[in-house]
Structure 1
Amino acid sequence: MSEAVTRTEQPARRSVRRPAFLARRRTYVSAAGAVLLLALPFYVDRFWLQAGLFAMAAAIGATGLNLLTGATGQLSMGHAFFLAVGAYGYCVFAGDGDGADGLTGLGLPTWLAAVLAVLVAGVAGGVFSPIAGRLRGAYLGIATLALIFIGQHMLFNARDLTGGFNGRDVPPLHLFGLTFDDSELVVAAVPFGSAEKLWYLGLVLLLAGGLFARGVLRGRPGRAMNAIRDHRVAAGVIGVPVARYRAAVFVLSSMYAGLAGVLLALVFQRTVPEYFGMTLSLDYLAMIVIGGLGSVSGAVIGAAFVSLLPQILTRYSDLLPLVSAPGTGGIAPGEAARYLYGAAVVAVVLFLPGGLVRITARHGRPTPQEDT
C-alpha cells in the first residue's frame, strides 16, 4: 500500500518542480536578454543599431494593430496613415517656423511635440472610429484603405506642413538635458551618436508599450475585446458596450501607431511621404499574422522578422544567390524580402495558425499531463 502511495506522489512532485523550473529558466533568459540589449550599443556598429531601432518602432506599431485586428477583430489597412500623422505631427510641433526651408513649425519643446503628435494620432483614430463602428470585415478594410489615399494626397500637396515630395527634416529630440542627435557623447570610451542614444529610448518605449498592451489583454478589457472579436452580438447581449470598446481600441491603436511614427522619424532624421503608403500597411498586417494574432510577443516577433529581413538581405546581397542590387539582373533585396515573408504568411496560415509565437509557447509551457 505504501509503495502505491509513493508511486502516485512522484508524478505530482514532478509536476510541481517542472513549472518552477520553467519559471526560473524564463527569468534567466529574460535577464540575459535584457543585459544583451543594454550592452549592444557598446559593441555593434551603427547599421545594426539602426536596424534594431526600425524593428522596435515596427514592434510598437504592430502591437497597436494587434490590439485592433488580432484582439478585437477590426481589420485595418490604413495603419500607415496614423504612423504618418505621428511622424509629421512631431515635425510640425517641434519644427522652427522661422527656418530657411519655409515650412510651418510651432517651435514647441521636442518632448512636448512628441506627446502631442501621439495624441493627435489618437484624435485622428477617434474621428474615424464612428465609421469603423458601422463596418465589419472587408468593408472596414476598404474604408481604412481610403485613409492611405487621403493621407498620400495630403502629404504630397500640403507642402507648407510636409515639404511635399522631398519631405522635411526631423528636429532632434531633447530630453532630460540630452540631445538625441549625432553630437558625440563618450560613454566608457565609446562615442554615442544618435543611434546609440535612441537605442535606449526605443527600448524604454517598447517595454512600456508592450507591458501596457499585455495588461490590457490580460484584464477585463482584453476579455471584452476577445468577446467582440468572436461574436459581436453575443458580447452585446452579455453586457459588453461594443461600440464604446471598438472606438476606444481604435483610438489606442492609432496612438501606438503615432508613437511608432515619432520613433521612425527620429531614426530616419527625415520624413518622406512615399514611405507611408499602402506597402507599409501591408507590412504591418504581415507582422501580426506571422508573429501571432492577439499576442504582444507575436507582434514583436513578427515585427522583427518583417523589418529586419530586407535590411539583412541588403547588407549581405553580395553573398546571396539571386539577390543583387537593382538593375544588375538579380532580385532586389526589398523584393526578395517581400517574397520571403509573403511565403511566410502563407506557411503560417496553413501550418501554424497561431503564428511564430506558438513555437515559443510550446517549449515554455508544461504539457497537459504535467499540469495534472
Structure 2
Amino acid sequence: MSKARYLPLLLLLLPPFYLDLFWLQAGLFVMAAAIGAIGLNLLTGSTGQLSMGHSFFLAVGAYGYVYFAGDETDDLTGLGLPPLLAVVCAVALAGLAGLAFSPIAGRLSGVYLGIASLALIFLGQHVLFNVHDVTGGYNGRAVPPMEAFGFAFDGTGDVVVLGIAFGALEKLWFLGLLLLGLAALFALGVLKGRPGRAMNLIRDQQTAAGVLGIPVARTRAAVFTLSSMYAGLGGVLLALTFQRAVPDYFGMLLALDYLAMIVIGGLGSVSGAVIGATFVTLLPQLLTRYSDALPLVAPTGTGGVSPSDAARYLYGAAVVGIVLFLPAGLRGLRIPSLTPRKESTP
C-alpha cells in the first residue's frame, strides 16, 4: 500500500482539533451507523438474507449497555458494571438475541425472512415502552459515560491536546474511529477468507453451495448472529453519542434507513456500507442545519417539508436511481484520472 493511501486515515484524526461540536456529533453518528451497516451488509449483501429487524439489535446493544453500566435508582435498575465490561456484555447480549432468532434465519430466506424479522421490531418496541425499570419507558434513560483503563470519555478532566480542550465528543471521536476500524478489518477478513466465499456462494447459488458441502442453514444462522453483534456495537456507540437512549428511535424507520445505506453504498462491500451510512446519516442533519437557506425545506412544525422528510425523499430517490443505473452503489463510481494518457506511437 502506497503512503498516499494512508492520508485519508490520518485526516480522520484531525476533526476534533478543527470542527465544532455539531460536526463531531454528526461524525460519530456516521461511525455508529457504519458499524451497524457493515453487519447488515454481511447478512444481506454478502449472504443474500433480507433482514428488516436490524434496528431491534441496535436497541439491544444500546439498552444493554445502559442496563449493564447503569446504577440502580428508585425508578430504574442497573448492574453498575465497569463501562468497558458493559460494552462487551451488550454486544454479547445482541449476539445472543441474534442466536435465539438464528434457527428461523437459517431456514428462511428472501422476503419470508424479511417478514419474520419485522416481528422483532414490534416486539422490541413493546418491550422498550413497557419495561420501565430497564428502559425508562417513553422518556428513555440516560447513558452512563464510557470509561476504560481509568480514562473517562466524558467532559470531566483537564485533557488538553495542542491547546484544544477535549470534551466528551472529542474523546468519543477517537473511540469511534477505533471501533469502526476494528469492525471493518474483521469484516474484511471474513469476506476475503473461506467464510466469505461460502457466504457469496449461498447468495448466488444456494443449491450448488449445498452440493459442495457448505452447511447452508448453519452458515446463515452464524452470519445472522454476527450481524446482530455488529448492530449491538453500533447501538452502544450511538447511545454514547446521543447520551440518552429513547425507544422511539429504534423503530421501523431506522430499519429502513439501514437497508437504504447498504443499497446506496453498495451491497456486499465494507466500503459501500461506510459510504451509504455517511450519505444516509449526514443528509438529514445537513438539511436540518441549513434548512433556512434551502428552498421548500423548513424546520419541523413551521410548514413546508421537514428536513427529515426531505432527506427520506432524497435518499429514496437515490435508491431507485442506484438500482436502475448504478447496481454497484456509490462505491462503483470511478473518478477519472486527471493525468493525461500518453498516446501510443504508431
Q: TM-score, with normalisation over the residues of structure 1?
A: 0.89
Aligned to 1:200: 174
Q: TM-score, with normalisation over the residues of structure 2?
A: 0.95
Compute the displacement of 1:360 (Å): 4.1
Cα distance per residue 1:58-86 (max 9 Å; x no partner)? 00000000000000011000000000000
AA partner of residue 237 (structure 1): V
User: C-alpha distance in 2, partners of 1:362/1:302?
Assistant: 21
Q: Secondary structure at the match of 2:97?
A: helix
User: C-alpha distance in 2, partners of 1:360/1:268?
Assistant: 35
Matched, 1:231 2:205: yes
What is the aligned counterpart of 1:124 among 59, 83, 97?
A: 97
User: C-alpha distance in 2, partners of 1:220/1:362?
Assistant: 34
Name the larger-Rg structure. Answer: 1
AA partner of residue 199 (structure 1): W
User: C-alpha distance in 1, partners of 2:156/2:324?
Assistant: 49
AA partner of residue 269 (structure 2): S
Aligned to 1:319: 293
User: C-alpha distance in 1, partners of 2:156/2:106?
Assistant: 47
Instruction: Name structure 2 gaps, 5 residues minimum.
Output: 338-346
Compute the displacement of 1:323 (Å): 0.7
Aligned to 1:58: 33
Compute the displacement of 1:151 (Å): 0.2
What is the aligned counterpart of 1:189 among 134, 143, 163?
A: 163
Aligned to 2:194: 220
Cα distance per residue 1:76-103 (max 9 Å; x no partner)? 0000000000000001100101x35x21
The sequence identity of aligned pairs, in percent, is 70
Q: CA RMSD of the aligned region, Å?
A: 1.4
User: C-alpha distance in 2, partners of 1:67/1:306?
Assistant: 18
User: C-alpha distance in 1, partners of 2:233/2:271?
Assistant: 18
User: C-alpha distance in 2, partners of 1:361/1:271?
Assistant: 40
What is the aligned counterpart of 1:328 among 273, 285, 302?
A: 302
Query: Aligned pairs, how many?
Result: 337
Matched, 1:92 2:76: no
Compute the displacement of 1:291 (Å): 0.3
Cα distance per residue 1:6-57 (max 9 Å; x no partner)? xxxxxxxxxxxxxxxxx63xx40x3221221111100100000000000000
Instruction: Name structure 1 gaps, 5 residues minimum.
Output: 1-22, 364-372
AA partner of residue 183 (structure 2): G
Change (3 A) 1:230 1:71: same
Cα distance per residue 1:184-239 (max 9 Å; x no partner)? 52222111111000000000010110011011101110000000001212101011
Aligned to 1:350: 324
User: C-alpha distance in 1, partners of 2:162/2:327?
Assistant: 46
CA contact (8 A) 2:121 2:252 kept: yes
What is the aligned counterpart of 1:146 among 119, 142, 156?
A: 119
User: C-alpha distance in 2, partners of 1:46/1:32?
Assistant: 24
Matches within 5 A, 1:1-372: 24=2, 27-28=3-4, 30-97=5-72, 99-100=73-74, 102-184=75-157, 185-360=159-334
Structure 1 stretches of 4+ with a deviation exceeding 6 A read none
User: C-alpha distance in 2, partners of 1:236/1:54?
Assistant: 40
Compute the displacement of 1:247 (Å): 1.0
AA partner of residue 44 (structure 2): T
Change (3 A) 1:320 1:129: same
